Chains A and B, each alone.
Chain A
């Protein structure tokens, strides 16, 4: 901390008022100290504290950095507590020995902790203003009155036309902006009062969260990763264009496609779901689709990379592998580019109960059964639902459309693993 003298006094007064006082009153009630005595103690300690701040300020001048390290701020409680002890006895306000130590010690620790960080959250400017809360507002700059057409400026050679040119369509509405007048003094008082209230309200909150953070590190660590990927994998536009039906008889629209385990494969209901085996290909019987899988990772912007070609599907290698506990994610384009067609163009036609088979590089395959097919607008991509951890091995197929990044839909197919298929040994 690098406080100034005024900042020290302001901080001390405010913190004693909004934290020290309520805390003392609460503890005093628990300890059975009268209200008058408690208020008297707070008053004495506050006045002493203001004097101490002057002493600390003088000591601070002996430091080249003109700073007040956290450790010194904490240890300063020892002499301050001893003096408070003596003075409280002298004015006859000292309750039992342990009570004062408890009151002073806990209050001091609380105020110190608040100054180590939570206070910066309540008043972000505090640390830049020498620990002062009250700073004059900056002078306003001259506002721009009417942003006018730019075209004229950039093409000065334009012929003057007889009739006035129509105003070009502004990109953003050019309505006169509200210019806020700086708060007057009563307003500033209101601000301080609000701050005081917020300190009280936010304190318990922020402390509980900081403490909570230490304990729930893993939960946050998990939340972190999808956060970077919170933007959906790719911006889609429009629903997948249904292509002309293939010559093969189309399966009934709402009935799941029956799919038999091939006779040269053996099926198992259990397998080692901890094993991570890279997928090799995906087969979707309803769509008569079989394609090799590439792999994609995260782009530097935190979104999933998309396969290089619209005709390729890819596995997101930062999530689970198919057959491994957790969500395995396959992405593919729904809209074609030039002669290519989007590999997942028809993925929206899948219905619950359909089969998706993913073949893995160890020649085993995992059969997934579709649970749900969802079409969501880009802005409402259910990140948690898609990437969130699952107890069982699951699969998500994500179809995206390349064109138009601002709006559109993603098609998400949720499926769960049911069987592992292994080729029978050739005899």
Chain B
């Protein structure tokens, strides 16, 4: 994850290398990539675009998150075939690409029959990264890339913004001041989210709390210990990350034959389908089942229109409800869990951890159950799968923007944006500041931090930039011509 430290720029003492461009995208992950891809396809020149990133490739942060949560290149993501991050069109989808490379029509047929006849097709990490790398080379990512940390963004008195960048790996080199008209922020999650009790345990435990692993931190040793010695493990959370962890633990258990007992702690236990009477969200075994992190219509259908229409307060309520923790239904997980319940090595508990104790070799978890009772669990290991830190103001750059009153923050702690993804508080100043991805949670588009959400945001932002003469509109003719180029893999 991006680790930024605060280096206040000192303009009095230091000189800067100055560079001018039109748009600077800070972040350099998938959010920046989606926007720059769209702008390049719209005909914007590489001279007009700069991406400030600590990473060499746009998929680096994403790949690291996948690796940390134990996903290899062949593991499947929770994403749609047409939600391509490397193409604004999403056609042909990942399913078609995979079908062609495997010389097997299975993925394609599955994507056409989903979700009525079969579980939805989802792309693999490897396929995504491979196609992304191709597209990055095609649009000239390296020509736009400035590696380093964006220390500060401030307003230029004559309009536009100035981004101060500390360049990577150049000891004693001058910082770079990039003068630009538009700034785009897509900074991603601030890191794994550790609850206060988990943090307290890590601070107090003798071994530094290595027995409490986090799903988004490297935690391979947990699996190794369970596979070699067996034991009991408490998995906190009921989202996609916990599903994957359970699957991995159970797969290892079957392979090694060790005695592993799994406790899973649900914050809210869904025994029954929930939602309005007629259109219910499926649930079972405590999990709420949903194919993607939001209902599909939130990406570009009826619910998209609803979230756009509502006031911010109502919208956040709806977004919390629609985007509540859920996991896709996959037969292999469900079968394993049913078997575990029947054989007695899997227990689901509904409640919240109030404290972790360091209890000799064991970790003691004090749990307040949903029924109000208290439960004390002594387990060998704890895996915390409660998610990422999604509060954008944790990022020093965003924090600084808010301090400078250049941007406003919503109740989720993320930048408030309008439906053009223009950051609130920046409208009056000539030029514009945009935010997409996790930095803009609570936007009129609910699933901002999904592939399709990033593409949607990129299209909206590009529409605004077209009005300023940066790139051109993706009308039918241009779109078809550019798509043809993309299909042929021809460089832009």
Residues of A within 8 A of B (CB): 2-4, 60-67, 69-72, 116-118, 120-125, 127-131, 137-148, 150-151, 153-157, 170-172, 177-180, 182, 191, 194-195, 198-199, 202, 205-206, 209-210, 213-214, 217, 220-221, 223-224, 227-228, 230-231, 300-302
Contact = CB atoms under 8 A, between A and B. Distances in A.
B300 A2 contact: yes
Nearest to B477: A198
Interface in B85-142: 88-93, 100-101, 103, 111-117, 133-134, 137-138, 141-142
Nearest to B464: A138
B18 A300 contact: no
Contacts of B469: 177-180
A140 B112 contact: no
Interface stretch (B228-236, B275-283, B333-341, B354-362): B275-283
B489 A124 contact: no
Interface in B1-58: 11-12, 15-16, 18-21, 47-48, 56-57
A228 B489 CA distance: 8
B114 to A, nearest CB: 7
Nearest to A116: B112
Interface in B154-180: 156-160, 162, 177, 179
A145 B159 contact: yes
A194 B476 contact: yes
A153 B20 CA distance: 14
A202 B480 contact: yes
B460 interface: yes
Given A121-B89, A142-B430, 20 more contacts: A61-B278, A64-B282, A66-B302, A67-B296, A70-B111, A70-B112, A117-B93, A128-B455, A128-B459, A130-B304, A137-B463, A154-B162, A195-B476, A198-B477, A198-B480, A202-B480, A221-B101, A227-B490, A230-B137, A301-B142
B116 A71 contact: yes
A3 B114 CA distance: 17
A62 B278 contact: yes
Contacts of B159: 142-147
Interface in B471-492: 474-477, 479-480, 483-484, 487-491
A144 B11 contact: no
B476 A302 contact: no
B44 to A, nearest CB: 13
A156 B12 contact: yes
Contacts of A141: 420, 422, 427, 431-432, 464, 467-468
A122 B12 contact: no
Cβ-closest 3 pairs across A and B: A2-B301, A117-B91, A66-B297
Given A64-B279, A64-B281, A130 B12 contact: no
Contact of A4 (B156, B278, B302): B302
Contacts, number: 248
Interface of B: 11-12, 15-16, 18-21, 47-48, 56-57, 82, 88-93, 100-101, 103, 111-117, 133-134, 137-138, 141-142, 156-160, 162, 177, 179, 181, 275, 278-282, 290-291, 295-297, 299-305, 419-420, 422, 427-432, 455-456, 459-460, 463-464, 466-469, 474-477, 479-480, 483-484, 487-491
A125 to B, nearest CB: 6
Nearest to B112: A70
A300 B56 contact: yes
Contacts of B56: 300
A120 B479 CA distance: 9
Nearest to A300: B57
A231 B466 contact: no
Nearest to A226: B489
A334 B175 CA distance: 33
A143 B278 contact: no
B20 A171 contact: yes
Nearest to A137: B463
B116 A124 contact: no
Contacts of A122: 476, 479-480
Contacts of A224: 134, 489
B112 A71 contact: yes
Given A120-B91, A139-B420, A150 B103 contact: no
A156 B16 CA distance: 13
A405 to B, nearest CB: 10
Given A4-B305, A121-B91, A198-B480, A228 B134 contact: yes
26 contacts: A3-B301, A4-B302, A62-B278, A64-B290, A65-B295, A66-B302, A120-B91, A121-B89, A121-B91, A128-B304, A131-B301, A137-B467, A138-B420, A140-B468, A141-B427, A141-B432, A154-B15, A171-B20, A172-B48, A179-B468, A180-B469, A199-B476, A227-B138, A228-B137, A230-B137, A301-B141
Given A177-B469, A198-B476, A128 B456 contact: yes
A69 B115 CA distance: 7
A205 B20 contact: no
Nearest to B12: A157
